[in-house]
Structure 1
């Protein structure tokens, strides 16, 4: 049974035509190469993680006959498909900017997700639902602290990152609903889901760390104490916002429906519904509040309106 805390929101796949031209700097947050590398490392995982999530969700929903959950699962997959395709384009730019060594991390990730794909469906769905619980914390961190994190940063990259987070919020219940529909809420099912929270989150974090380590090593920053301290500070700030969500998601009565959606996310979705076709929602990173990127900063296919 689907929890009844609040009604589901149907995910709406949005093929936003983000462009990543050659002039994008891998250190796209001015003066913060460590934070830029952290986000670039996370992006590196997406073309391997998200196809795994899609395959798992596709197999899972084939075993269900609830039309609403089936439709949500298909929409989830389409959103994730658009996400990893955009991340792949961005990652290719980063690698071409002097980081071909990242391909070795990608090869290792590909092999790892191939091995994970041979695990039972319950393990894989628990991983999927577990990872999705982490994105709630990531979203609230990035949206709520967008000015502190991204002031003056490359608007093309920031806007792409925040779009991804908006849609992660939108489909926050889907993997959980599918897992519950397939495996129920028995103590055994909860145990698998609890392990999945740790497994999915830690796995993605470790791959992200391998990616940003390559970047910082290539930049000559990995061995510098000051850089490592700045990196530790950013990791601590992220952890303060993400870890509570992971711990809460491990509880037996957890439901993502009880998590409040940031108003900025709701405003983004509402405004995008009225946007013209081909609209690219570029955030103004120079604005002191970085408002929802509509109307005043309307961009059609990358050209100012």
Structure 2
């Protein structure tokens, strides 16, 4: 079945809440300042970045004719909105611990307002499509090799696994929205080069800034650990190259990477019921009902 008409997984926001207050140090990844700063830099970009993703898709929502795609857009907005809120929470904790991810989020938000909002609607949505591809292939890698996060603090692990599974679920929404209205895949291929350079520059710069503000020079052990994480046999960088390059194939669609089994893996291996706000509310209602009838 062609990926563009295949049955996608349901896009249903899960309202989760991780115990980020358990974090006691900014070096939450194997006591490695460089790895920790990298992931803090990633987290710092999500509130402003995902806010722009939502806004760029909303610009096209009324032009979409497919009821199915409109429903997927609603799910996309719900998921991305809740991701932003959870990353805002962890960013505040990291700021209090010495990694000011909140300041970086404000910096990115200011950049987007100055340099992205004045651009065309087509460019804004295309950038979202391209960034969604980057997050989707990183999400696939993390859920395929979850052991690479074994030394990451548990609340941040849970955040990334949950975020990853929902990135997979909605990975084609922005793409399908763009193609249904603009239909210009050549433009998307060009834009991916720009988006990739922007991503590496921004995350690299923010990683350096976090370490600079801490007056922390990574040790040789930390540099080697970071290098292994990125380029080892299950490295974050080396592990996504093939999926990244598939983007430039003529006629590529995000669901050409059929990985919905990873959603079920998360549900069976990584999902923590006590962090699901819907479950918490259901239990509270049941307890209230039981108390009322006692």
TM range (shorter): 0.7 to 0.9
Cα distance in structure 1, aligned partners of 2:158 and 2:78? 19
CA shift, 1:231, in A, is: 3.1
- Structure 1, residues 161-214: CA drift from partner, whole Å, max 9, x if none? 110000000001111110110112xxxx12211122223333233222222212
Name the structure 2 match of 1:299: 274
CA shift, 1:252, in A, is: 2.0
Range 209-218 or range 248-257, more displaced: 209-218
Range 128-137 or range 158-167, more displaced: 128-137
Cα distance in structure 2, aligned partners of 1:12 and 1:90? 22
- Structure 1, residues 201-256: CA drift from partner, whole Å, max 9, x if none? 33233222222212333455436455444434433322212232222112221111
Name the structure 2 match of 1:52: 52
8 Å contact 1:56–1:124 — kept in the other structure? yes
Name the structure 1 match of 2:133: 133
8 Å contact 1:248–1:254 — kept in the other structure? yes
Cα distance in structure 2, aligned partners of 1:176 and 1:145? 26
Cα distance in structure 1, aligned partners of 2:227 and 2:263? 28
- Structure 1, residues 113-156: CA drift from partner, whole Å, max 9, x if none? 11202211111111111111112220122112211x22243221
3-state SS, counterpart of residue 252 of structure 1: coil
RMSD: 2.7
Name the structure 2 match of 1:93: 93
- Gaps of at least 5 residues in structure 1 are 272-290
Name the structure 1 match of 2:193: 198
- Gaps of at least 5 residues in structure 2 are 284-294
Cα distance in structure 2, aligned partners of 1:103 and 1:12? 28
Name the structure 2 match of 1:283: none
Name the structure 1 match of 2:79: 79
Cα distance in structure 2, aligned partners of 1:249 and 1:57? 20
Cα distance in structure 2, aligned partners of 1:99 and 1:206? 19
- 2:210 equivalent to 1:215: yes
Cα distance in structure 2, aligned partners of 1:262 and 1:216? 37
Cα distance in structure 2, aligned partners of 1:23 and 1:130? 32
- Structure 1, residues 45-81: CA drift from partner, whole Å, max 9, x if none? 0011000000001111121222111111121011100
Q: How many residues are aligned here?
A: 275
Match of 1:255 among 236, 250, 253: 253
8 Å contact 2:44–2:102 — kept in the other structure? no
Cα distance in structure 1, aligned partners of 2:33 and 2:177? 39
Name the structure 2 match of 1:242: 240
Name the structure 2 match of 1:8: 8
Cα distance in structure 2, aligned partners of 1:29 and 1:136? 22
Distance 1:70 1:249, change over 3 A: same
3-state SS, counterpart of residue 264 of structure 2: helix
Distance 1:124 1:30, change over 3 A: same
8 Å contact 1:38–1:212 — kept in the other structure? yes
8 Å contact 1:136–1:245 — kept in the other structure? no
CA shift, 1:13, in A, is: 0.7
